[in-house]
Amino acid sequence: MKETNVKKAEGKLGVLVVGLGAVSSTFMTGVLMVRKGLAKPIGSMTQYDKIRVGRGADKKYLKYNEIVSIANLNDIVFGAWDVYPQNAFESAINCEVLKEKDILPVKDELEAIKPMKAAFDKNYAKRLEGDNVKQCANRWDMMEQIREDIRSFKAEKGVDRIVVLWAASTEVYVPVNEKVHYKLADLEAAMKADDKDNIAPSMCYAYAALKEGAPFIMGAPNTTVDIPAMWELAEQTKMPIAGKDFKTGQTLVKSGFAPIIGTRCLGLAGWFSTNILGNRDGLVLDEPANFRTKEVSKLSTLESILVPEKQPDLYGHGNDIDDQYYHKVRINYYPPRNDNKEGWDNIDIFGWMGYPMQIKINFLCRDSILAAPLCLDLVLLSDLAARAGRYGTQRFLSFFLKSPMHDYTVNEVPVNHLFQQYVMLKNALREMGGYEADEEID
pLDDT band at 339 (very low <50, low <70, confident <90, very high): confident
Whether 137 shows a pLDDT value over 70: the answer reads yes
Give the pLDDT band of residue 298 (cuts 50, 70, 90): low
Residue 286: band (very low, low, confident or very high) from pLDDT cuts 50, 70, 90: confident
* Residue 299 confidence (pLDDT) above 80: no
Same domain, 194 and 305: no
**Residues across the chain:** 442
Q: Residue 294: its pLDDT value, please? A: 66
Please tell me whether residues 280 and 428 are part of one structural domain. Answer: no
Same domain (yes/no): 274, 129 = no
Write the CA distances from 378 to 226, 241, 374, 375, integer angstroms: 17, 10, 6, 5
225 and 359 fall within a common domain: no
Tell whether 189 and 315 lie within a shared domain.
no
Whole-number Cα distances in Å, 395 to 335, 412, 426 = 35, 12, 12
Q: Same structural domain for residues 231 and 280?
A: no
CATH number for position 314? 3.30.360.10
Residues 301, 193 share a domain: no
Q: For residue 305, what pLDDT is reported? A: 94
- Give yes or no: residues 203 and 258 share one domain: no
Residue 439 lies in a domain: no
Q: What is the pLDDT of residues 140-198, one digit of tens each?
A: 999 999 999 999 999 999 999 999 999 999 999 999 999 999 999 999 999 999 999 99
- Round the average pLDDT of the chain to a whole number and report it: 95
Same domain flag for 345 and 400: no
pLDDT tens-place string over residues 16-70: 999 999 999 999 999 999 999 999 999 999 999 999 999 999 999 999 999 999 9
| Bond prior to 179 in cis (omega within 30° of 0) | no
pLDDT confidence of residue 76: 98
- Is 440 a member of any domain? no
Q: Given this model, what pLDDT does residue 297 score?
A: 63
Residue at which a domain ends, from 325, 346, 364:
364
Instruction: Report the phi/psi class of residue 271: left, alpha or beta, with left for phi > 0 and alpha for psi in -120 to 50.
Output: beta
Q: Choose the weakest-confidence range: 105-119, 236-250, 287-301, 409-423.
A: 287-301
- Across 297-336, b (16+ Cβ under 10 Å) vs e yields bbebbbbbbbbbeeeeebbbbbeeeeebbebebebebeee
Tell me what pLDDT residue 2 has.
86
Q: How far apart are CA 328 and CA 320, in angstroms?
A: 13
In a domain, 8, yes or no: no
Structural domain tally of the chain? Answer: 2
Do 254 and 391 reside in the same domain of the chain?
A: no
pLDDT at 282 > cutoff 80: no
The CATH number of the domain holding residue 403 is 3.40.50.720
CB-based contact 64:45 (threshold 8 Å):
yes
Determine the average pLDDT of the residues in 241-247.
Answer: 95
Residue 87 confidence (pLDDT): 98
Same domain, 211 and 122: yes
Q: Which band of pLDDT confidence, cut at 50, 70 and 90, is reported for residue 260?
A: very high
What one-character-per-residue DSSP string does 240-307 give? EEEES-B--SHHHHHHHHHHHHHHTT-EEEEEEEEEEE-SHHHHHHTSHHHHHHHHHHHHHHHHTTS-
Q: Are residues 168 and 187 both part of a single domain?
A: yes
Residue finishing a domain among 364, 383, 412: 364
Give mean pLDDT, residues 4-12. Answer: 95
Q: In this structure, are residues 115 and 150 in contact, taking their beta carbons and an 8 Å threshold? A: no
Return the percentage of the chain with pLDDT > 90, whole number: 86
6 within a domain of the structure (yes/no): no
| Predicted local confidence at residue 331, as pLDDT | 87
Lowest mean pLDDT among 113-117, 180-184, 297-301: 297-301
Of 348, 364, 380, which closes a domain? 364
Q: Is 441 contained in some domain?
A: no
Q: Could you give the CA distance from residue 349 to residue 302 in angstroms, rounded to a whole number?
A: 14
Q: How confident is the model at residue 306 (pLDDT cuts 50, 70, 90)?
A: very high
Looking from the CA of 165 toward its CB, the CA atoms found within 13 Å total 32
**What pTM did the predictor assign?**
0.94
Beta bridge partners of 362: 344
pLDDT reported for residue 263? 96
What is d(CA 155, CA 165) in angstroms, rounded to the nearest whole number? 19
Report whether pLDDT(389) > 90.
yes
Whether the predicted pLDDT of 244 surpasses 80: yes
CB-CB contact of 151 with 14 (8 Å): no
- Let me know if residue 5 belongs to a domain: no
In a domain, 409, yes or no: yes
What domain range is 298 assigned to?
250-364
Read off the pLDDT of residues 196-212 as tens digits, 9 standing for 90 and up: 999 999 999 999 999 99
DSSP state of 127: T
In a domain, 141, yes or no: yes
